[in-house]
Structure 1
């Protein structure tokens, strides 16, 4: 290593930031059957409130801002719902499409947010709830625009062993559950937002792990592990905590599919303490460790000293469209007929999800998947709407080892899984569920790396 390379920092951005939060907990009479094996259609109690948070990011107080919206919600069954909601937000706030990321935590214990489920028990409450989400988002964006302050956002990697591999090969039968053999990506990325006087404003947590602790027997509306994690971090830092779901296609807690909210809380504390540990090891914003020479002793000692460094203040947003191949999906009419005739409740649920997906994609051979890349000073944020496997974030980070990369699943939409090509020979849920053909993930990886090379700090 050359001497001029001997400097270590927590990279980030000097800019202006606005922060706002809102409660988005729906009433318990809303339709909330997210599991095919569930026996009930609504929750009976609230474990923890659901939250929507907004972070505005700009170079100056009056400059054009980027808006990061996070919400304790599951996924979009109906692509048109998400598109209408995001378009309403963009229009009301006079934003361009590259300025907004609406990122879902992917909790599986939240309300159903699919307008075509209007005829289900409690389904009449879905559309009004979707409108409430629009109103809350617009309010938060306007609040963030008004309350921006000068601050620094710095990032560092940590680790947390909450996530485990969930693709279980049991004597040739592929199940979705804890796989104790294959390794999981347990990378944790933590961002700390501080005012210029050192006051902590927010902690950003980017971690890949399905919030599937609470499942078919659960009776409580819940953000799953994210809620307890957020509460713990706030209690110890005094700052808001925003969660960004990573590339978690095959990742979930070891213990899941339970009805006990205490287990979800334990998972949240595990992640929360890992976040706090990572924060403890961060260098202060605007400081670096600089190699300053050697001192002869029993050994020649390399001396590193803290020194100030000027944090970058550049922001850039890029929006790309990537053509991904589709499997032969069949005709909408055929799936509708199969769904109508089906008497098995679990299979009928699977057909309903497939039908909503097919309606959004049409009958073409490819689908246009969008990809958002934000350059935030010395850090890059990559966001896309699908459920990519962890190799997506692993390969991106391997391609840019000297750059901090935040990778976000289920942002600005949702269609399905993106498993690696090697899994398409197996009969398994992620391959059966996805409308994307073999090789789609690899195309997305290659396209993302090419795009990152043009915007790399």
Structure 2
């Protein structure tokens, strides 16, 4: 019998860290409640952690870009990927941008160029694309044989964030101590054949919303401190953070302006990753049962043994697939014209004489309502049809390890149900892959409660369950 605590894969890989911190006075407002528009400094450097995987025989490849931003709009992300693809030769379908989803880096919307610091967005995005593209071009001749070792752990950082406020008689988006969440951590070691560490993948579901409207510093939120904690023990290696299914998940302590809280949250996750890594074998091999030894007790003995040639062949398999699922849009989204009219009305009130007498709270609330409408306009003006959204589930498998590329913000139950259904394989549930064109995907039971996530969703009830079913079906056939 072979132990399945760890899963393995074998391929070629190269990795690198690209610093992508924007100007310290760039447009920064990410939160509706924020009273500032521009950043006033930098908390920690933003990064793009690059990991290039290729089949041993060169038949398939995947370029992972873990980017310290909340997300990019679709056209911005497509331009970014095209720049990278042109430089390194990897086809667009084999490049996936995993946004870490920090809410402390600013909203990189070129359409906000007229706002304070907004003129810096487009030049910054162009520079970011060129820097990452140059790095990937240079990595193309650095691919080397590696082992992937995947292990599961647990971290208590993540909590449910759909809380019912009794006084308001409605749900708010905040820590809910009454409901549990999936705190599973999947950590993957990427190491050379001699055991030397090349990179680490960390897959965990928790919204990086430690820092909120009071924060005026560019920050990767807890992800930066997670990397710092891990590098203190492992050295300065690329750490590819992949956001899990965190639509209804956030940190217990969040929505603050104190960067020390983000650092504490990050240390917690960093140490959890190190715990998983500490238990892994230095050189991947088969851990199997040898038999009994009679001692003071009859002992069952296990030991590591080299993989057989056939096992090595299986662990070196590198495949990819995609599956399209048609998801119906909600029928109550309204029209771009009606939302634009609401924006005009709110802006007129904001510019009126009465507004000059508003308290700080009144200013904050009005700005937040206006921001909600702007984002609603962004959501519904980018719909590809009036009936359905074509959702593409993407997957890459290296040996016993599966990496999913999932657009949007999925509720936590997606990852638990998929992982439970696919047996002993390690499944990286990577959401916000290439952004969030479909926005939130809630489970059926969460519709009709007045949740923020439903307000910010364009997909009709039942869409998430369709994705879960399609993912499980294809993975079990792969």
TM-score by length of 2: 0.91
Q: Which residue of 1 aligns with 2:176?
A: 179
Q: Which deviates more, 166-175 or 426-435?
A: 166-175
Match of 1:29 among 10, 25, 29: 25
Q: Which residue of 2 aligns with 1:383?
A: 405
How much does 1:11 deviate?
1.7
For 2:442 and 2:300, locate their aligned partners in 1 and report how far apart those are by CA, in whole Å: 45
Q: Which residue of 1 aligns with 2:143?
A: 148
Match of 1:364 among 369, 373, 386: 386
How much does 1:72 deviate?
0.5
1:89 aligns with 2:88: no
Contact 1:338/1:351 (<8 A) preserved: yes
Match of 2:133 among 126, 135, 138: 138
1:350 aligns with 2:388: no
How much does 1:392 deviate?
0.5
Q: Which deviates more, 58-67 or 319-328?
A: 58-67
Contact 2:7/2:401 (<8 A) preserved: yes
Q: Which runs of 5+ in 1 are unaligned?
A: none
Q: Which residue of 2 aligns with 1:417?
A: 440
Contact 2:159/2:181 (<8 A) preserved: yes
How much does 1:454 deviate?
2.7
Q: Which residue of 2 aligns with 1:283?
A: 281
Q: Which residue of 2 aligns with 1:337?
A: 341
For 1:8 and 1:423, locate their aligned partners in 2 and report how far apart those are by CA, in whole Å: 35
Q: Which residue of 2 aligns with 1:314?
A: 317
For 1:42 and 1:191, locate their aligned partners in 2 and report how far apart those are by CA, in whole Å: 37
1:445 aligns with 2:468: yes
How much does 1:299 deviate?
4.7
Match of 2:208 among 206, 211, 226: 211
Match of 1:241 among 239, 242, 245: 239
SS in 2 for 1:220: coil
Question: Any residues of structure 2 matched to 1:187-202 within 5 Å, and which?
Answer: 187-202=184-199
For 1:84 and 1:306, locate their aligned partners in 2 and report how far apart those are by CA, in whole Å: 47
Q: Which residue of 1 aligns with 2:252?
A: 254
Match of 1:399 among 416, 421, 431: 421
Contact 2:87/2:137 (<8 A) preserved: no
For 1:13 and 1:142, locate their aligned partners in 2 and report how far apart those are by CA, in whole Å: 25
Q: Residue by residue, what CA displacement relative to the aligned partner does 1:131-188 show, whole Å, maximum 9, x if unpaired?
A: 1222122112212212111111111000000101111012241011111110011000
For 1:14 and 1:299, locate their aligned partners in 2 and report how far apart those are by CA, in whole Å: 39
Contact 1:21/1:54 (<8 A) preserved: yes
Q: Which residue of 2 aligns with 1:426?
A: 449
Q: Which runs of 5+ in 2 are unaligned?
A: 348-365
Contact 1:386/1:409 (<8 A) preserved: yes
Match of 1:123 among 118, 121, 131: 118
1:227 aligns with 2:231: no
How much does 1:91 deviate?
3.9
Q: Residue by residue, what CA displacement relative to the aligned partner does 1:67-111 show, whole Å, maximum 9, x if unpaired?
A: 0111100123x3222223223433443333331111100000002
Contact 1:70/1:105 (<8 A) preserved: yes
Contact 1:79/1:357 (<8 A) preserved: no
Q: Which deviates more, 436-445 or 312-321?
A: 312-321
SS in 2 for 1:453: helix
Contact 1:418/1:436 (<8 A) preserved: yes
For 1:81 and 1:182, locate their aligned partners in 2 and report how far apart those are by CA, in whole Å: 37
TM-score by length of 1: 0.95
SS in 1 for 2:138: helix
How much does 1:12 deviate?
1.9
For 1:7 and 1:367, locate their aligned partners in 2 and report how far apart those are by CA, in whole Å: 42
SS in 2 for 1:46: coil
Q: Which deviates more, 58-67 or 44-53?
A: 58-67
When residues 228 and 292 of structure 1 are mapped into structure 2, their CA distance, relative to the original with a 3 A threshold, is same
How much does 1:279 deviate?
0.8
Q: Which residue of 2 aligns with 1:44?
A: 40
For 1:279 and 1:189, locate their aligned partners in 2 and report how far apart those are by CA, in whole Å: 10
Q: Name the Cα RMSD after superposition.
A: 1.7
Contact 1:98/1:317 (<8 A) preserved: no
SS in 1 for 2:140: helix
For 1:92 and 1:352, locate their aligned partners in 2 and report how far apart those are by CA, in whole Å: 35
Q: Residue by residue, what CA displacement relative to the aligned partner does 1:331-378 show, whole Å, maximum 9, x if unpaired?
A: 212211111221421111011111111121145111111221010111
SS in 1 for 2:460: coil
Contact 2:155/2:183 (<8 A) preserved: yes
For 1:170 and 1:158, locate their aligned partners in 2 and report how far apart those are by CA, in whole Å: 32
Q: Residue by residue, what CA displacement relative to the aligned partner does 1:166-220 show, whole Å, maximum 9, x if unpaired?
A: 1101224101111111001100000111111221111110000011001000121
